[in-house]
Amino acid sequence: MAPNSVVITFLIALPLLFESSQATGDATYNVVSYGARGDGKTDSTKAFLRAWSSACSSATTTSTVYVPRGTFLLKPLVFSGPCRSSRIVFQMGAATTLVAPSNYWELGNSGNWILFIKVTGLSIYGGTVDARGAEFWHCRRFGKSCTAGARSVSLFWCSNAVVSGLRSMNSQTMHIAIDNSNNILIQNVWIRAPSSSPNTDGIHVEASTGVTISASTIMTGDDCISIGSGSRNLWIERIACGPGHGISIGSLGGSVNEDGVQNVTVTNSVFTKTQNGVRIKSWARASNGYARNIVYRNLIMKNVDNPIIIDQKYCPGNQGCPHQSSGVKISKVTYKNIRGTSGTQVAMNFYCSSSNPCWGVKLQDIRLTYLNRAATSSCANIGGSKSGVVIPRSCF
């Protein structure tokens, strides 16, 4: 080899050495090096995808996509796996914001704005995402032909993921969606949308196993956390929920053949001025679905309209709803140490299916008041037991 070509080979190899280091080390891919600009105006979508592609194909143990301070404009994008690295980090700084285009049509019918798909060992740290959903909500409320709307951050078919320190605001629809995934930890997230914004659930979990949601503040126009069919082994703790519609299992029974929900614990959480506290809801139609082994404990309700509710005749807006009895089977639900104030007279509302009554429901140490007096409870088709002091008095 001529000396010149040795030099040239070395020069070509140099940036590669810096970018990828050795196969066992770490590598960082800064989106700015790929052409992203944090000026809030430049479309950085392609740059983010290129940085992801480099990180995902890196042979290092850990590879990091780094987003420095600044405001980055992004159209819908899909970060796909599987990746070569066993750990892939999407790192944003404290002053990093990702914004959607101001025209809501640009998220179009994509369904998801920032979507991670089939990634194992993903960590998303820090940052703020702002989907600027206001005009979309307005269209939803008053318009005739709107786009379908997009979730802000979605993880589909992911495993061993962590989402930590993320702030998500003004999503068009759900803020964080976990679907068909397992072993997911979501912690220290902050979610905010106006209480009047439609369907802006905080965190939605669907068909996923082993999901922990911890130490998070969620203020939205819909459920703080919603849990759909096929979800199991969920641990939800230290959530400040409100405004919003509470923490809901359901709506279940949307279709006849539907997987159930089981082993869900909600603990050490506070609900402030929410429409519901802890709710299980199903449509009134035939279904193979179920919800079982659910534990709600150590919860505080502050002026919550329906602190404890099972609604098997769920029918929002009373429009076009089925009127059969729900096929969803609800059993082994424990309510323990739930205290505070109800915003309505009926603090415990159990409206179970006439064809599939709820069974194995336990009430222990409940104290819910309404206007400084004992609230009331209401029951249909439910059986179970109570222990300790239960106020309002159990109706089963």
Ligand X SMILES: *[C@@H]1O[C@H](CO)[C@@H](O)[C@H](O)[C@H]1NC(C)=O
Query: Which spans of this chain sit near ligand X (rule: CB under 6 A)?
Result: 233-235, 263, 265
- Examine the residue annotation and report whether 245 is marked as an active-site residue of this protein: yes
Minimum CB separation from ligand X for residue 161, in Å? 16
Minimum CB separation from ligand X for residue 386, in Å? 24
Phi and psi angles of residue 390, each rounded to the nearest 5 degrees, phi first: -125, 110
Looking at the Cβ atoms of 214 and 376, the one nearer to ligand X is: 214
Alpha helix positions (H), 194-350: none
Minimum CB separation from ligand X for residue 213, in Å? 10
Minimum CB separation from ligand X for residue 93, in Å? 31
Minimum CB separation from ligand X for residue 33, in Å? 40
Looking at the Cβ atoms of 72 and 296, the one nearer to ligand X is: 296
Helix (H) or strand (E) holding 114: strand 112-117
Asked if 245 and 276 count as a contact pair (C-beta separation under 8 A), the reply is yes
- Of 138, 175, 245, 323, the active-site residue reads 245
Looking at the Cβ atoms of 27 and 178, the one nearer to ligand X is: 178
Three-state secondary-structure class, residue 53:
helix
With vertex at residue 208, the alpha carbon angle to CA 174 and CA 348, rounded to the nearest 5 degrees, is 70
Query: 49 is written with which tokens?
Result: 């995808």
Looking at the Cβ atoms of 199 and 214, the one nearer to ligand X is: 214
Dist. CA 199–CA 379, nearest whole Å: 28
Dist. CA 155–CA 142, nearest whole Å: 30
With vertex at residue 329, the alpha carbon angle to CA 393 and CA 270, rounded to the nearest 5 degrees, is 50
Kindly report each contact of residues 142-146 with a partner whose C-beta sits within 8 Å and lies 24 or more positions away, as own/partner.
Answer: none
Looking at the Cβ atoms of 188 and 233, the one nearer to ligand X is: 233
Three-state secondary-structure class, residue 131:
coil
Residues noted as catalytic:
245
